[in-house]
Structures are given as C-alpha cells and as structure tokens.
C-alpha cells in the first residue's frame, strides 16, 4: 500500500498523488500495516473461530478428540492472524488508513521531515 497525499486545491476535488517518503517512515508504515492485519485477525476472525469452537455442533465423527480440544485455541490464533494479514481492504484497510496518518506524523517527527528526491 502506497501512502498518498491529498491536494485540496484541485478544482475537481481531492486528487491522490504519490509522495516520496523517508525510507524509515515507509518501513514504519509497512510494519503498521502488518500489525494492523494481525490485530484485525485476532479481534474479528479470532472471535469468530472461538465462537465456532465453543458451539455445540461438534459430532463424534471428524472430531479430533482431546488433542483438538487442547490445541485448537492455539491453531485458531495462528489461523486468525494469517487471515487478518491476508485480507485486502475491508476492516483492515479502514483501521490502517485511520492509524497511518498518525504513524506517519510520529515517524516524520522521529526521523525528520526529509523526503526522498
């Protein structure tokens, strides 16, 4: 995902233009995008998988027994993170877009406002 700047002086409305960012700022935004996916995965998909695990739809056929009962929470945690990071758009994008503006300002303050030419 490439961060963009908004030009509010355009007569037809805001226009997205790519902005060259300091490499450290870009790295921080990439890390934020990865972590956002993990958070969305754990909060949304993790909750959904937990509800499925605790449902009464477990039958005797196809059930993993005691091993599944013990380790299914760990497996679902890993699956939830992977589903969150694999998601493009939707909730992950909304959360990232909201947090990226603040992260960009913090990173620019930390590393200086120098832009790549």
Q: Which residues of the chain have pLDDT under 50?
A: 1-15, 116-117
Distance CA 75, CA 36 (A): 20
CA–centroid distance for 5 within its chain: 21
Neighbours of 103 (CB within 10 A): 18
Identify the pLDDT of residue 57.
73
3-class SS letters over 21-81? CCHHHHHHHHHHHHHHHHHHHHHHHHHHHHHHHCCCCCCCCCCCHHHHHHHHHHHHHHHHH
Q: Domain-by-domain residue ranges, the chain?
A: 24-111
């Amino acid at each position: 995902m490439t961060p963009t700047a908004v030009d509010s002086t355009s007569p037809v409305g805001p226009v997205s233009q790519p902005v060259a960012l300091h490499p450290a700022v870009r790295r921080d935004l990439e890390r934020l995008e990865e972590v956002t996916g993990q958070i969305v995965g754990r909060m949304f998909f993790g909750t959904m998988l937990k509800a499925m695990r605790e449902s009464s739809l477990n039958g005797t056929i196809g059930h993993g027994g005691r091993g599944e009962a013990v380790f299914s929470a760990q497996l679902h945690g890993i699956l939830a993170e992977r589903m969150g990071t694999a998601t493009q758009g939707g909730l992950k994008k909304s959360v990232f877009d909201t947090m990226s503006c603040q992260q960009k300002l913090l990173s620019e303050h930390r590393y200086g406002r120098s832009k790549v030419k």
